[in-house]
Amino acid sequence: MSANFQNFQKGPEFKKIFDVLGDGIFNADFDLWKNRRKIAKTLITHHTFHNFLVKTNCDMVKNGLVPCSIYKRFTFDTTCILVTGFDPGSLSVDLNNIAFMKAMNDAGEVMVIRNLLPQCVWKLQKWHGIGPEKKLRDAREVIDRVIGKYILMKHDELRAKGEKMNENEEEEGVDLLASYIANDDGETKTGLIFYDKFLRDTILNFMIAGRDTTSSGLTWFIWLVVTHPEIEKKIREELKAIISLGEEGDKQRLFKGGELKNAIYLHAALCESLRLYPVPVPFQLKIPQEPDVLPSGHRVHPNMRVMVILYAMGRMESVWGKGALDHLTSSFLSNGGPRICLGKEVAFTQMKAVAAAIIHNYHVEMVKGHEVCPNVSVILYMKNGFKVRIRNRWT
């Protein structure tokens, strides 16, 4: 992934399994991947998107998460707003059943099944429209319809506003879809044409990247904090120190993104949680382009699939030392190679704001007898969810 990146690509088989993602950045290799990553990086790191991220995150934590305390719906709504500018409204007090969210869940489930079945089996199911493939077909119809609607709405919205960004938009920021459309001059400097299929694939890839990964990461992190009281105490002490001297520290409070930049211990604990529970993808699939020898000494060639099990690697005492399963220190190493997550800082901004709000304001107690174990999935979910009792610390 790092030292010999060019030789290990995702390959055509990966794209067949995850065809619902189209030609988005997850499926792309070589020049197509470079072009799409370059464009996405430019827009994600732009100050207008950062402003929009901070404002959206603060609003959603205050008005959505705290009243409902459901991570998955929180990250679904937040990601949808950041990517498209539209709120699907799943995080409401009555917990609406959102067809778009269900369709994405169904699509993810079928993609896991495709990894487990021989290609000839799932292709036969797809041809006849039966079994899991029928579920994926139905899910894809919903996904395409909803994203298509968002694209049309955004075109209309931008036409109504005019091309120029006003001062309020500059300060509060804009969503990614608006940025992509605003930068469409027919053809970019990289030669990539902006058309609706590209926008559809881009939106879906960003939605997949941002929603379940962050919610699962938060779930595992809060569980680890709850089961390690000494970690919880240190994080609370750090958060209390961040609060200005002129402000009373012992009261309910939400933290803004800028305030948590110096929350070093919180950041380290989040990294350690991701080491133990690598929720973005607990495994990596690569196809060698040329024969090679892995650092382990294993020989590989283009007819082989190389599966890198990150979940297992994060627990190897030969890498992390004795007690690798028990400690939550700052031993995390950030080296993911050229394909390292584009939205890493976006995810950390969200996770820190939510984690700080929960840990500072509430006592979280896991329900006795609740079984905690990972689910077999593309995203590392907590199989049975995380059932807790929550008590306000300041009332």
Question: What's the pLDDT at 238?
Answer: 93
Tokens of 100: 């778009």
Among 74-78, 124-128, 186-190, 364-368, the range scoring the smallest mean pLDDT is 186-190
Range of the domain at 128: 5-392
With helix as H, strand as E and coil as C, how does 127-187 read?
Answer: HHCCHHHHHHHHHHHHHHHHHHHHHHHHHHHHHHHCCCCCHHHHHHCCCHHHHHHHCCCCC
pLDDT band at 67 (very low <50, low <70, confident <90, very high): low
Question: 285 - beta bridge partners?
Answer: 307
Among 149-163, 202-216, 248-262, 276-290, the range scoring the smallest mean pLDDT is 248-262
Question: What's the pLDDT at 188?
Answer: 43
Return the SS3 of 227.
coil
Question: What's the pLDDT at 209?
Answer: 83
pLDDT band at 262 (very low <50, low <70, confident <90, very high): confident
Question: What's the pLDDT at 233?
Answer: 94
Checking DSSP bridges between strand 283-288 and strand 388-392, what pairing results, if any?
unpaired
User: Which residues are CB-neighbours of 23 under 8 A, at least 6 positions away?
Assistant: 32, 197, 198, 201
- Average pLDDT estimate for 309-332: 75
b or e along 65-88 (b: 16 or more beta carbons within 10 Å of the residue's beta carbon)?
bbebebbbbbbbbbbbbbbbbbbb
H or E element: which one contains 236?
helix 229-242
CB 144 within 8 A of CB 19: no
271 marked ligand binding residue: no
d(CA 89, CA 86): 9
CATH number of the domain to which 355 belongs: 1.10.630.10
pLDDT band at 333 (very low <50, low <70, confident <90, very high): very low
37 versus 344: the higher-pLDDT residue is 37
d(CA 356, CA 336): 26
- Average pLDDT estimate for 336-358: 84
Q: Is the dihedral of CA 164, 169, 173, 175 positive or negative?
A: negative
d(CA 291, CA 218): 39
pLDDT in tens, 40-63: 999 898 888 988 988 888 888 877
Question: What's the pLDDT at 159?
Answer: 86
Mean pLDDT, the chain, integer = 84
pLDDT in tens, 372-393: 998 877 788 888 888 888 888 8
CB 51 within 8 A of CB 138: no
Question: What's the pLDDT at 171?
Answer: 65
Question: What's the pLDDT at 111?
Answer: 86
Does residue 153 register a pLDDT over 90?
A: yes
What is the number of structural domains in the chain? 1
- Average pLDDT estimate for 125-132: 94
CB 353 within 8 A of CB 57: yes
